[in-house]
Amino acid sequence: MSDYDYDLFVIGAGSGGVRASRVAASYGAKVAVAEEHRIGGTCVIRGCVPKKLLVYASMFAEELDHAGSMGWDLGELSFNWEKLRDHVNGDVDRLNGLYTQTLDSHKVEQILERATVTGPHSVKLSSGREVTAKYILVAVGAWPYMPDIPGVEHCISSNEVFHLEQLPKRIMVVGAGYIAMEFAGIFNALGCDVDVVNRTQTILRGYDEGITDRLLRLASARGIQFHMDSRLNSVEKMEDGTLCVDIEGRDQRIDTDCVLVATGRVPKTDGLGLETAAVDLGDKGEILVDEHNRTSCDSIYAVGDVTNRVQLTPVAIREGQAFSDTVFGEKPHTVDYDCIPSAVFSQPPMGGVGLTESEARDKFGSVKVYTSDFRPMKNIFAETQERGLYKMICDADTDKVLGIHMIGPETAEILQSAAVAVKAGLTKRDFDATVAIHPSMAEELVLLK
C-alpha cells in the first residue's frame, strides 16, 4: 500500500499536464489532475487553436478579394462575427471533450477545482479537501500580463478576445509580440481599423530582423497603424462606450472601441503555495527547474509555460513526456531545446528555425547569407505587390545551415520540413542538390542565391 493518496498529482490540465498525466498512468501510476478552468489549457481553450481558426477565417477576406481576378463572380459578400465566434467556441468545446476522454481512457482522475501546494507531498483543493502524493507536477501555464494603469479594467486580454459580443470597428492592440501581431492581422483583415502601440521600435524580438522588417512594412501597407516608442498612460470609457486612450508622448488621445493588451504572459504562480515546499522562483515568478524538470523540492516538478523556458505548446508536451518517462517509465531523457522552430500566424505569416543572422554573426563571425525575394504566384493576378522573403544563414567555413527564416504564404507549412534539415545539420550543398518542386514557393529553399 502506498503512503500517499496518489503516485502523481498534477496541477493544471493543459498540454504539458495532460501529456504527463496520461503517460504516467500508462506506466501504472495512480494519477489525479486538478484544473480550475477547463481541460485542455491555454492552447486549446484560449490560445493557439481558436486563434488559428480566426486566422483562417480572416484570410478569406484576402482570398475573396483575389477571386474576381481568378474568374469568380461571388456577388455581394458580408461577414458575421457572431457566427464565426460561436463556431470557434463550439470547436473549443469539442476539443475540451476530447481531452477529457483521453484522461478518462487512461483512468486519470479529474478534479475540476483550484489546487494549491501545502507541502512537499500535499495539495489542498478549493473545496477544502487535502490530498497527498508521492510526486507533484505543476503545469499551470502562464497568464496574460495586464499593466497597472488607470482604466485597465476597460481593456481585454487574449483570454477575452474570443468572446467579443460584436466585431469592433476600431481596435487598439498593445504590444508587438506574436500574440499582438497575429490579432492585429486578424482584425485588420476582418475590416477593423487597427492601431498597434509598442514600447520599442522593434516588433517580434527574437526573430530575424530582415523578416520582421518586411512584416512591418507589409502590415503597414495593409492599413495597420503603428505607434512605436509608445506606452499606455490611461484608458477612459466615455458615455457612448468609446475608449479614449492616452499614450505617452502624444499630444492627442486616440479613440477606439476595444483595447487588447498583448504584452506578454507571466507564469501563473501567484497564490499557488509553492513557498510551503520551499520551491524556488525566478524574477518573473517562474518555477526554476533542472534539466529533468525537478524543482528545488525533490518531490515537486514543473513543466510548460510556468517554467518560462520556451512558451510553446509542443515544448510543454515534450517536457510532460520526458517527466513521466523519467520518473515513472524508467526511460530517463531530457528535452533538447536547440533549433526549435516557431511561426507567427501574422498576415502574411512568418517564422524561423535556428540562429538569426545577427546571432550567427555574433557566434561564428564569418557567415554566408542566401536569400530569395520573390512575388508568390498566388499574388500575380492580385492588386497586392506583396513579396515573400526567405533567408538561409550558413557557416562560411563548413557550409552548415545555421538558420532559416521566412515570410510569405504558407510559411509554417514549409518551415516544418526545413526545420528537420536544420536540426539534422545539413549544408547548403544538401539543399542545392535537392530537386525543386515546381511551381511552388517551397522550391525557393533549394534555389537560394
pLDDT digits (tens, 9 = 90+) for 285-339: 999 999 999 999 999 999 999 999 999 999 999 999 999 999 999 999 999 999 9
CATH of 152-263, one of 3.90.550.10, 3.50.50.60, 3.10.20.70, 3.40.50.410: 3.50.50.60
Provide CB contacts within 8 A for 129, sequence distance 6+: none
pLDDT at position 250: 79
Q: Do domains 152-263 and 342-446 have the same CATH topology?
A: no
For residues 356-382, give the mean pLDDT. Answer: 93
> At 352, is the pLDDT very low, low, confident or very high (cuts 50, 70, 90)?
very high
Domain boundaries 342-446, CATH class: alpha beta
Residues with Cβ within 8 Å of 411's Cβ and at least 6 positions away in sequence, in order, are 343, 348, 349, 350, 351
- 182 labelled binding-site residue: yes
403 is in an annotated binding site: no
Residue 376 to residue 81: CA distance in whole angstroms: 30
Contact 403, 352 (CB under 8 A): yes
* 257 labeled binding residue: no
| Mean pLDDT score, 8-30 | 97
68 pLDDT band, cuts 50/70/90, is confident
User: What pLDDT does residue 381 have?
Assistant: 80
pTM tops 0.85: yes
**Residues in a beta bridge with 74:** none
The fraction of the chain above a pLDDT of 90, given in percent, is 93
pLDDT beyond 70 at 29: yes
pLDDT category of residue 427 using cuts at 50, 70 and 90: very high
**pLDDT value, residue 349:** 97
Q: What is the mean pLDDT of residues 349-373?
A: 97
Options 3.50.50.60, 3.30.1280.10, 3.90.79.10, 3.40.640.10; CATH of 6-144+266-327 = 3.50.50.60
Annotation-wise, does 392 bind a ligand? no
Q: Which residue in 66, 106, 292, 438 is the catalytic one?
A: 438
Is 14 marked as a binding-site residue?
Answer: no
User: Catalytic site residue 227?
Assistant: no
Q: What average pLDDT is seen over the chain?
A: 96
Residue 383 has pLDDT above 80, yes or no: no
SS3 assignment, position 155: coil
Domain ranges of the chain: 6-144+266-327, 152-263, 342-446
The pLDDT value recorded for residue 379 is 83
Instruction: Average the pLDDT over 132-159 and give the result.
Output: 97
Residue 430 — φ and ψ, nearest 5°? Answer: -65, -40
Determine if residue 4 is labeled as part of a ligand binding site: no
Set of cell numbers at residue 373: 525575394
Average pLDDT over residues 191-197: 98
The reply, when asked if residue 172 is annotated as ligand binding, is no
Mean of the pLDDT values across residues 182-190? Answer: 98
Is 203 known to sit in a ligand binding site? Answer: no
Confidence band (pLDDT; 50, 70, 90) for 66? confident
Q: What is the mean pLDDT of residues 359-365?
A: 96
Answer yes or no: is 241 a known binding residue: no
- 236 annotated as a binding-site residue: no
Distances (CA, A) of 257 to 97, 176, 228, 244: 34, 19, 20, 9
Preceding peptide of 267 cis, ω within 30°: no
pLDDT at 1: 54
180 is in an annotated binding site: yes
pLDDT of residue 385: 80
Distance CA 111, CA 34 (A): 5
